[in-house]
Structure 1
Amino acid sequence: MAHPQTRPGRQLVLNLFIYPGGHHEAGWRYPGSSPERLLDISYYQDLARSAEAAKLDAVFFADGPAQVDNIRYASRFRLEPLTWLSAIAAATTRIGLIGTASTTYYEPYNLARLYASLDHLSGGRAGWNIVTTAVPQASGNFGLAETPSHAERYARAAEFVDVVTKLWDSWEDDALVADAASGLFADDTKIHPIEHVGRHFRVKGALNTPRSPQGRPVYVQAGSSDDGRSFAARYAEAIFTAHQTVDSAKAFYADIKRQAESLGRSPDHVKILPGISPYIGSTEAEAQRLYEELNDLIQPAYSIAQLKQITGIDFTGHPLNAEVPLDAFKDAGPAKQVASRFQLVVDIVKREKPTLRQVIDRLAGARGHYVAVGTPERIADEIQLWFENKAADGFNIMPPWFRGGFDLFASEVVPILRRRGLFRHDYTGRTLREHYGLPRPESVYATEARATA
C-alpha cells in the first residue's frame, strides 16, 4: 500500500488508556512489567510524560466505585482518578487528562467542583468520562439494595449532566474581576444560582468555583447500548467504544454521527474513539509470539469469571478446547451487566465458532476491544484503515503491558502515522478541546444576556 507523506485536513485523535498492570489481564506478570510500582505516582507521571512527548491527545483513567470479585489473579484495584490526574497535571503541561466518574454514585455539585478544579489547575486539560456504573458490587457501597435499572441509570445521568452543565456555566467568563484598584473582586451580577428542581436532584447553586479555562471539561462517554448511543449523541464530545470489526465500527460511527446531527450538533464535534490493543513485533511471527506468551500467563479461573461478568453465563466446567455453543446465550436476555459487551461476545461466537479457550484469550487481550497483532507497519495500516473508512476518529491506545507495550507504540507506530500525515508532529493548542478540535462552549447565561440585550 502506498502512503502519501503529507495529507492536510482530518487528523487522528490518540489517547493513552492507562490501566494498572496493562490491558492484557496477565500483563502485570509479563517480563519487564513493574507490578511493584502500581501504587507509585511517579510511575504514572513518567507514563504521562512519555505520552506527552509523543504528542498524544490525552491520558485516560477508568474507574469504578467498588472492589470487583476477580482481583485474585489480576491487577483490578482502583485509585481515585481525579486525585491521580491532579498529580499528573503537575508533572505535564499539554496532554489532556480524562477521568471516569459515575452519575449513579456521585452528586452533581461535588463532581462539578472536582472537575472544575482539575481544569483550572491543569490550564484547561480536563475531560469527564461519564458512566452510569452497572457493576452490582457498587450499589452496596452506597446504601442501595440493588443496582438501579439500565433505564433508571440513564434517566438520572441525563439530569445529572444538565445540572453540572448549569453549574459550570453559573459563573460567566468575566465574573471574576480581581481589580485591586477598585476593590471589586467579582461581579456578582454575573454569578447565577441555577435553582434546579428535577426528579433526581435539587441544586440551588451557583458553583463556588469560577468558570474554568475550557468553559467546561470535555464530555466523554463510554456506553454503546441503545440508551448509551442516544445519550452520547446528545451530550458526548468524545465516545469510547469497543468493536471487533471495521464494519461494526463503521455502523456505530455512522449511527452516532447521524443522531448527533439530527439533534442540531455538528458531527465533527463528536469524536468516535474505539479501543485498540497493539501487540507489536519486528516481524509478524515475533508479534504473534508476544501475543501467545501473554496468553500463556492467563489464569483460566479469572478469565471464566470475567466472561461470566460480561455475559451472566458461568462456563465453569466447560472444556477449554470445546466450541462455545451459541445456544448458551439464548436465555441470557439483554447483556447482564454491560449490554454492548454482551452482544460483542455473542457476535464473536456466532462469527468465529471459537473454543472457550479462544474466547477467553480474545477477552484477556483487552476485555473485548480490538486486538491488533503485527509489525509497526501493520498496526499503522489498521489504524489508517479504520480512520479513513469512517470507523473511527482516533483510538484509545491500550498497551497489553506497561511500560514496554506503550514504548513500542510511541517509538515505532506513531512515527509511521506522522509520515503518512495522519498525526501531529507537535501540539498546536494547550487545552484538551483544542487538541480534539472542539469549540469552547459559551455560558448559557452569557447567551441569554446577549439575546435580551
Structure 2
Amino acid sequence: MTADRFHLGWFGAFVPHGWNQPFEGTEASHREWLDGTFHVDLARALDRACFDVLLLEDSSMVSDTYGGTSEATLARGVWAPKGDPLALAPLLTEATEHLGISVTASTSFYPPYVLARAFSTLDHLSGGRAGWNVVTSSEDRAAQNFGLDGLPQHDERYERAEEFIDLVDRLWSSWEPDALVMDRETGVYVDHEKVHPVHFEGRYHRSRGPLNTLPAPQGRPLVSQAGGSPKGRDLAARTADLVMALPKGVPAMKAYRDDIRARAEAFGRDPDDVKVMFIVSPVLGATEAEAAERFERRRQAVRDDPTGQLIGWSGSMEIDFSRFDLDEPLPADARTNGHQSTLETFRTWAGDRTLRQAVEAYRTEAVELVGTPDSVADQMGAIAEEVGGDGFMLWSQPPTRQYVTEVCDGLVPALQRRGLVRTGFSSTQLRDNLLEF
C-alpha cells in the first residue's frame, strides 16, 4: 500500500541567505537577498519542482531579550535584518507561473481594511496565487514599534484575530462576483447595486466598507495559520485553508491533524478543506553515509554552541534564556505571553534533561529525515501513509542555493518517481491546486 499524493511547501523569510556557510556564494551575492535576486531564484526553483506554496514568515522588531541587549541577535542575524515580504511578493509571482506566495501579516498591527485591500491587490497581480499567513504576533518589542506598550494577553490576541479575519472576509465579499459590467452602451463600469458596505461593528474592530478593489481572483486569498495552543488550533480550524504544524514525532503529527480536522468539522467545515502541512528539514546526501555525516555535523554545531537556539527563542517567547543555567533543567516557573506552544513543546521534550542536553537534542522540525533522496522519499511516503497528512513544509535556516538544488533536483524527483507529489498543475490558482488532492 502506498500513500496518496501530498503537497509540498517551502517555509522561508525575506532574510540573508547562508552568508557564513561553506557554499555561501560570492561576496557580491550578499546583496542579492535585499534586491530580491536570491528569493526570485528560490521561487523559480520551487515553481519548476511543482511546489504548491512558498510561505514567507515575518516579524517587526530587533529583539534585545537575550542578555538584555540586541548584541547576540544582530551578531547572528536571528531577528534582523529582515525585509518586508509583502513588498517582495510581486517579484516572486512575476517570476513564476504556478507557485503560490503566502505572506505573513499580523492581526495585531495591520488595520483590517489595509490588509484586505493589499492581499486582494496581490491576488490580482499574481492571477490568483496570493495567500495571507495569519499571525497575532508574540513580542512586546514589536508592539512598541506601533505605539503600544505591549501586546494583549495570548487568548485575547486570538479573540481579536478571529474578529479581524471575520471583518477581512466581509470586506473581500463586499463586491459581488459579477459587479464589474463594463457596459459601453450605458457607460457603466461597475454596477453599484452589487457593491455593499459591510457596516462591521465588533468588539475590537469597526469598518464601514466596502473594499475599493475588484473581487480577488480567488474570491478569498488563501489563508494559512500555524496554531499550536488550544486557541491557536481553534483559529486555524475555523478560518484557515492551510495549517503549518510542528508536533514532534509521527504519533504527535497524526494526533495533531486528527484534532484540527475534528475542530474544523465542529465549526461546520469540510475537514478536507483544511490542509495540514508539517515542517521538516531533510538532510540529504549522495549516500547514506554522507547524509549521516552531514546530520552529525549539524548536531555537533549545536553541541559547540547550544546558545544559538536560545537566542532565537528568547526573542519569540520574550524569556531571557541567558539567565538560566545550561546544566540545570528549564525552571518550572518559566512563562511566556508569546509562543506558548513552542515553550510547552520544548518543556515536554526536555523532561528532566538539563537545558544544554535538551537544546542539543531538540530539532525545529516535526520529524528527522536523513538519507539519500530515494530513502528520504520513502520515509516521507511512509509518514504520510501513517499520519494521513496533507503534505510537508520544507525549511532551511539559513537557506542556501546548494540546499535548494538538493531538494528540487534530488528529493523532489525521487518523490515524483514514487507518485507521491505532483508533476504538474491543473490550475493557475493557489486554492484550486491545494484542494486538488
1:166 to 162, 170, 174: 170
1:91 alignment partner in structure 2: 95
| Pairing partner for 1:32 from 5, 23, 36 | 23
**Alpha-carbon distance between aligned partners in 2 of 1:90 and 1:238, rounded to the nearest angstrom:** 23
Whether 1:12 aligns to 2:6 is yes
- Cα distance in 1 between the residues matched to 2:192 and 2:282: 52
Distance 1:294 1:32 in 2: 15
Q: Which residue does 1:381 correspond to in 2?
A: 378
Q: Do structure 1's residue 303 and structure 2's residue 317 form an aligned pair?
A: no
User: C-alpha separation between the residues in 2 aligned to 1:308 and 1:390?
Assistant: 32
CA contact (8 A) 2:7 2:422 kept: no
| Mapping for residues 16-415 of structure 1, pairs under 5 Å | 16-19=10-13, 20-21=15-16, 27-34=18-25, 36=30, 37-69=32-64, 70-76=73-79, 77-294=81-298, 299-309=305-315, 312=319, 314=321, 318-319=325-326, 322=327, 325=329, 328-333=330-335, 335-350=336-351, 356-362=355-361, 366=364, 369-390=366-387, 392-400=389-397, 401-415=399-413
Hey, what's the Cα distance between the residues in 2 that align with 1:344 and 1:98? 25
Shift of 1:375: 1.9
Q: Distance in 2 between matches of 1:152 and 1:435?
A: 34
- The farther-off stretch of 58-67 and 154-163 is 58-67
What residue identity is the alignment partner of 2:82? R
- Please state whether the residue corresponding to 1:340 is helix, strand or coil: helix
Q: Distance in 1 between matches of 2:379 and 2:158?
A: 33
Moved more, 35-44 or 135-144: 35-44
Structure 2: runs of 5 or more not aligned = 65-72
Q: Which moved more, 1:341-350 or 1:289-298?
A: 289-298
Q: RMSD across aligned C-alpha pairs, in angstroms?
A: 2.3
TM superposition shift of 1:296? 5.1
- Using the TM superposition, give the Cα deviation of residue 361 of structure 1 relative to its aligned residue in structure 2, in angstroms: 4.1
Tell me the secondary structure at the aligned position of residue 138 of structure 1: helix
Amino acid at match of 1:407: T
1:313: how far off? Answer: 5.9
SS in 2 for 1:101: strand
Give 1:102 deviation, angstroms.
0.4
Which of 85-94 and 395-404 deviates more? 395-404
Counting aligned pairs with the same residue, the percent is 36
Matched with 1:449 is none
Q: Decide whether the 8 Å contact of 2:134 with 2:224 is kept in 1.
A: yes
Q: What is the deviation of 1:202?
A: 1.4
Task: Describe the shift of the 1:310–1:162 C-alpha distance in structure 2 as closer, same or farther (beyond 3 A).
Answer: closer
Residue identity in the other structure for 1:73: R
Q: What is the TM-score normalised by the length of structure 1?
A: 0.86
CA distance in 2, matches of 1:94, 1:181: 37
> Residues 28 and 277 of structure 1: is their aligned pair in 2 closer, same or farther, counting only changes over 3 Å?
farther
- Residue 451 of structure 1 corresponds to which residue in structure 2? none
- Rounded to whole Å, the distance in 2 between the matches of 1:198 and 1:214 is 26
> By how many angstroms is 1:43 displaced?
1.4
Q: Return closer, same or farther for 1:168/1:252 CA change in 2, 3 Å cut-off.
A: same
Give SS of 2:378's match. helix
Q: Can you list the C-alpha shifts for 1:85-122, whole angstroms capped at 9, x where unaligned?
A: 11111111211010100001111000001000000010
Which sits farther off after the overlay, 64-73 or 146-155? 64-73
Q: Distance in 2 between matches of 1:376 and 1:356?
A: 33
Secondary structure of 1:45 counterpart: helix
SS at structure 2 position matched to 1:389 = helix
Q: How many residues align?
A: 419
Alpha-carbon distance, 1:422 to partner: 1.3
Unaligned 5+ runs, structure 1: 440-453
Deviation at 1:75, TM superposition (A): 4.9
Shift of 1:190: 0.2
Counterpart-to-counterpart distance in 2, 1:438 and 1:337: 35
Between 73-82 and 238-247, report the one with greater CA deviation: 73-82
Whether the aligned pair in 2 keeps the contact of 1:81 and 1:99 (CA below 8 Å) is yes
| SS in structure 1 of the partner of residue 411 of structure 2 | helix
Q: Distance in 2 between matches of 1:163 and 1:61?
A: 23
Q: 1:101·1:131 contact (CA, 8 Å) conserved in 2?
A: yes
Task: Quote the Cα distance in structure 1 between the aligned partners of 2:167 and 2:324.
Answer: 48
Distance in 2 (alpha carbons) for counterparts of 1:329 and 1:385 = 37
Query: Structure 1 residues 145 and 316, CA, compared in 2 at 3 Å: closer, same or farther?
Result: closer
Q: Deviations 1:23-52 (Å, cap 9, x if unpaired)?
A: xxxx54211124713213121111101100
